[in-house]
C-alpha cells in the first residue's frame, strides 16, 4: 500500500482525547455561531444552477461532471473556513476524517446531521437522510437515473480533502431523488499526498 501513516504524526494536544460526543459539541457550537441565511434561497438557487447547467450542456453526464467540478472549486475554499471555524487539528486517520466530515462539516454548513457506515482506513459511506439541496425537488423520469443532482457535494468533499493532502474519489451511490430512502456518498481514499513545502520557505 502506498499509504503512509507517518504523515499523521502531528497531533495537536486537543485532539488526543477526541470522542464522538466531543465532535457533536464542536458541531453544535459552529452551527450556532455561523451567520445564517434562509434555506429556501439556497435550495432554489441550487435548483436554478442545475437548470442552467442542463440548458448549457446537451449531455447529462457533462452536467454531472460540471457539478462535481463546481463542488471541487468550492471545496478548495471551504476547507479553510472549516478549519478556522472548527479549530480542529489534523485527523489521526481516515476514519477520524470521516467522523469529522459527517458530524461537524455537514452540521456547520448545511445544518444537518450526516451519519456513516462501513468506515475503515480506505473508504467510508456518508449517509444523508436530510439534505437542503433536495428539498421540494423532483426529477423527471428522463433524468431520474442519469442526473446526479447532489454531485456538487461529491466535489466539495474531494476539493476539501485534497487541500489536506488526501486524494479521494467520491460517488453518489444512493439518492432520495431516485426513490431511495436516503442519499449516500461513497468516499474512497486513493492516495496520501506528500506535504509540499512552499518555495522560499525555510
Partner 1 sequence: MEELRKKNNSLNVVDRKLPTKGFHNKVSLSAFSLLFSELIQYTHRRVHNVKDFERRLADIGYNVGLRLLEYISWKEKATKRETEFERILHFISNTVWKMLFGKNARPEKSKQVAGRYMITEDETLVNKFISVPKDLAGLSCGSFVGGIVEGILYASEFLAKVTTHSVQVPENPRFPRTVILIELDKEVFEREAPQDG
Question: Which positions touch partner 1 (CB under 8 A)?
Answer: 31, 34-49, 51-52, 56, 66, 70, 73-74, 77-78, 81, 108-112, 129-130, 132, 135-138, 152, 176, 179-181
Chain-centre distance for alpha carbon 53: 21
Contact 151, 118 (CB under 8 A): no
Task: Give phi and psi for 183, each to the nearest 5.
Answer: -100, 145
Residue corresponding to grid cell 477520524 = 96
Nearer to partner 1, 35 or 200 (CB): 35
Q: Which of 67, 18, 55, 39 is nearest to 132 (CA)?
A: 39
> What gap in Å lies between CA 180 and CA 131, rounded to an integer?
13
Task: Please enumerate in sequence order all residues whose Cβ is within 8 A of that of 110, keeping only pairs 6 or more positions apart, or say none.
Answer: 131, 132, 133
Greatest Cα-to-Cα distance within the chain, rounded to the nearest angstrom = 58
Q: Which helix (H) or strand (E) holds 186?
A: strand 183-192
Cell numbers at 138, concatenated: 423532483
Nearer to partner 1, 49 or 60 (CB): 49
CB 110 within 8 A of CB 132: yes
Amino acid at each position: 500500500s502506498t499509504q503512509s501513516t507517518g504523515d499523521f504524526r502531528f497531533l495537536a494536544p486537543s485532539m488526543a482525547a477526541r470522542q464522538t460526543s466531543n465532535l457533536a459539541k464542536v458541531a453544535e457550537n459552529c452551527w450556532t455561531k455561523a451567520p445564517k441565511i434562509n434555506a429556501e434561497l439556497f435550495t432554489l438557487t441550487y435548483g436554478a444552477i442545475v437548470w442552467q447547467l442542463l440548458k448549457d450542456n446537451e449531455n447529462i453526464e457533462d452536467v454531472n461532471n460540471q457539478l462535481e467540478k463546481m463542488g471541487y472549486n468550492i471545496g478548495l475554499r471551504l476547507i479553510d473556513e472549516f478549519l478556522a471555524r472548527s479549530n480542529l487539528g489534523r485527523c489521526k486517520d481516515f476514519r477520524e476524517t470521516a467522523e469529522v466530515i459527517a458530524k461537524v462539516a455537514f452540521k456547520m454548513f448545511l445544518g444537518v446531521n450526516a451519519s456513516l457506515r462501513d468506515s475503515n482506513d480506505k473508504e467510508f459511506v456518508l449517509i444523508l437522510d436530510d439534505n437542503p439541496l433536495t428539498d421540494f425537488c423532483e426529477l423527471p423520469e428522463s433524468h431520474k437515473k442519469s442526473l446526479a443532482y447532489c454531485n456538487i457535494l461529491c466535489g466539495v468533499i474531494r476539493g476539501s480533502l485534497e487541500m489536506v493532502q488526501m486524494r479521494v474519489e467520491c460517488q453518489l451511490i444512493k439518492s432520495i431523488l431516485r426513490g431511495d430512502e436516503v442519499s449516500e456518498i461513497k468516499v474512497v481514499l486513493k492516495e496520501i499526498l506528500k506535504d509540499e513545502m512552499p518555495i522560499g520557505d525555510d
